[in-house]
Structure 1
Amino acid sequence: MNLSLDYAIEMDQKDPLKSYRDLFHIPKDKFGNDLIYFCGNSLGLQPKTTKSYIEQELKDWAELGVEGHIEAKNPWLPYHEFLTESMAKVVGAKPIEVVTMNTLTANLHFMMVSFYQPNKKRYKIVIESDAFPSDKYAVESQLRHHGYDDKEGLILWKPRKGEELLRYEDLEQIMQDQGNEIALIMIGGVNYYTGQYFDLKRITELGHKHGCKVGFDCAHGGGNVPLNLHNSGADFAIWCSYKYLNSGPGSLSGCFVHERYAYDKNLNRFTGWWSHNKETRFNMRHDFDVLPGAEGWQLSNPPILSLAAIRASLDIFNEAGMDALRDKSIKLTGYFEYLMNGLGDDVVRIITPSNPKERGCQLSIQVKNANKELHDKLTDSGVITDWREPDVIRCAPVPLYNTFQDVYLMVERLKGLL
Structure 2
Amino acid sequence: MFTHKTGHEYALKQDETDALKSFRNQFHIPKDTHGNPLIYMTGNSLGLQPKQTKGYVNQELDDWANLGVEGHTTGKTPWLPYHEFLTEAMAKIVGAKPIEIVVMNTLTANLHFMMVSFYQPTKTRYKILIESDAFPSDKYAVESQLRHHGFDDKDGLILWQPRENEELLRYEDLERILEKEGDSIALILIGGVNYYTGQFFDLKRITSLGHQHGCKVGFDCAHAAGNTKLELHDSGADFAAWCSYKYLNSGPGSLAGCFVHERHAHNKDLNRFTGWWSHNKKTRFNMRDEFDQLPGAEGWQLSNPPILSMAAIKASLDLFETVGMEKLIAKSKKLTSYFEFLLNQLGEDTIRIITPTNPDERGCQLSIQVRNADKSLHDKLTEAGIISDWREPDVIRCAPTPFYNSFEDVYLLVEKLKSILNHNQLKA
Identity %: 75
Deviations 1:302-354 (A, max 9, x none): 00000000000000001110000000000000000000000011111000000
Over 2 Å off, 4+ runs: none
Supply the distance in 2 between the matched residues of 1:315 and 1:143 (Cα, whole angstroms): 39
Supply the distance in 1 between the matched residues of 2:41 and 2:164 (Cα, whole angstroms): 30
Corresponding residue number in structure 2 for 1:198? 201
Q: CA deviation at 1:239?
A: 0.4
Aligned counterparts, 1:95-134, within 5 A:
95-134=98-137
Aligned counterparts, 1:296-315, within 5 A:
296-315=299-318
Aligned counterpart for 1:238 among listed residues 241, 245, 249: 241
Query: 1:128 is matched by which residue type in structure 2?
Result: E
* Residue 168 (1) aligns with residue 168 (2): no
Aligned counterpart for 1:64 among listed residues 62, 67, 87: 67
Query: 1:376 is matched by which residue type in structure 2?
Result: D
* Residue 94 (1) aligns with residue 97 (2): yes
Corresponding residue number in structure 2 for 1:333? 336
Aligned counterparts, 1:325-364, within 5 A:
325-364=328-367
Aligned counterpart for 1:285 among listed residues 288, 292, 298: 288
Corresponding residue number in structure 2 for 1:75? 78
Supply the distance in 2 between the matched residues of 1:413 and 1:136 (Cα, whole angstroms): 36
Aligned counterpart for 2:388 among listed residues 382, 385, 397: 385
* Residue 248 (1) aligns with residue 251 (2): yes
Decide which moves more: 366-375 or 151-160. Answer: 366-375
Query: 2:185 is matched by which residue type in structure 1?
Result: I
Q: So what's the TM-score if we normalise by structure 2?
A: 0.97
Corresponding residue number in structure 2 for 1:211? 214
Supply the distance in 2 between the matched residues of 1:288 and 1:340 (Cα, whole angstroms): 58
Corresponding residue number in structure 2 for 1:412? 415
Query: 1:177 is matched by which residue type in structure 2?
Result: K
* Residue 185 (1) aligns with residue 188 (2): yes
Aligned counterparts, 1:369-384, within 5 A:
369-384=372-387
Deviations 1:158-182 (A, max 9, x none): 0000000000000000000000000
Structure 1 unmatched runs, 5+: none
Deviations 1:255-300 (A, max 9, x none): 0000001111111100000000000101011110000000000000
Deviations 1:65-119 (A, max 9, x none): 1111011110000000000000000000000000000000000000000000000
Supply the distance in 2 between the matched residues of 1:251 and 1:168 (Cα, whole angstroms): 33
Supply the distance in 1 between the matched residues of 2:351 and 2:338 (Cα, whole angstroms): 16
Supply the distance in 1 between the matched residues of 2:94 and 2:322 (Cα, whole angstroms): 15
Corresponding residue number in structure 1 for 2:223? 220
Supply the distance in 2 between the matched residues of 1:70 and 1:36 (Cα, whole angstroms): 43
Query: 1:7 is matched by which residue type in structure 2?
Result: Y
Supply the distance in 2 between the matched residues of 1:211 and 1:15 (Cα, whole angstroms): 47
Corresponding residue number in structure 1 for 2:50? 47
Q: CA deviation at 1:367?
A: 1.3
Supply the distance in 1 between the matched residues of 2:324 and 2:11 (Cα, whole angstroms): 23
Q: CA deviation at 1:51?
A: 0.1
Supply the distance in 2 between the matched residues of 1:105 and 1:368 (Cα, whole angstroms): 35
Q: CA deviation at 1:194?
A: 0.2
Deviations 1:172-223 (A, max 9, x none): 0000000000000000000000000000000000000000000000000010
Supply the distance in 2 between the matched residues of 1:313 and 1:80 (Cα, whole angstroms): 14
Deviations 1:117-144 (A, max 9, x none): 0001100000000000000000000000
**Matched residue of 2:284: which SS?**
coil
**Matched residue of 1:282: which SS?**
helix
Query: 1:280 is matched by which residue type in structure 2?
Result: T
Alignment: residue pair count: 418
CA root-mean-square deviation = 0.4
Supply the distance in 1 between the matched residues of 2:306 and 2:370 (Cα, whole angstroms): 42
**Matched residue of 1:308: which SS?**
helix
Supply the distance in 1 between the matched residues of 2:161 and 2:295 (Cα, whole angstroms): 38
Query: 1:363 is matched by which residue type in structure 2?
Result: L
Query: 2:228 is matched by which residue type in structure 1?
Result: V
Query: 1:268 is matched by which residue type in structure 2?
Result: N
Query: 1:144 is matched by which residue type in structure 2?
Result: R
Q: CA deviation at 1:64?
A: 0.7
Supply the distance in 1 between the matched residues of 2:381 and 2:84 (Cα, whole angstroms): 42
Query: 1:263 is matched by which residue type in structure 2?
Result: H
Q: CA deviation at 1:369?
A: 1.1
Structure 2 unmatched runs, 5+: 422-428
* Residue 365 (1) aligns with residue 350 (2): no
Deviations 1:14-62 (A, max 9, x none): 1111110010000001111110000000000000000000000000000
Q: So what's the TM-score if we normalise by structure 1?
A: 1.00
**Matched residue of 2:288: which SS?**
coil
Q: CA deviation at 1:368?
A: 1.4
Supply the distance in 1 between the matched residues of 2:285 and 2:6 (Cα, whole angstroms): 63
Supply the distance in 2 between the matched residues of 1:129 and 1:219 (Cα, whole angstroms): 17
Corresponding residue number in structure 2 for 1:156? 159
Q: CA deviation at 1:360?
A: 0.1
Corresponding residue number in structure 1 for 2:425? none
* Residue 268 (1) aligns with residue 271 (2): yes
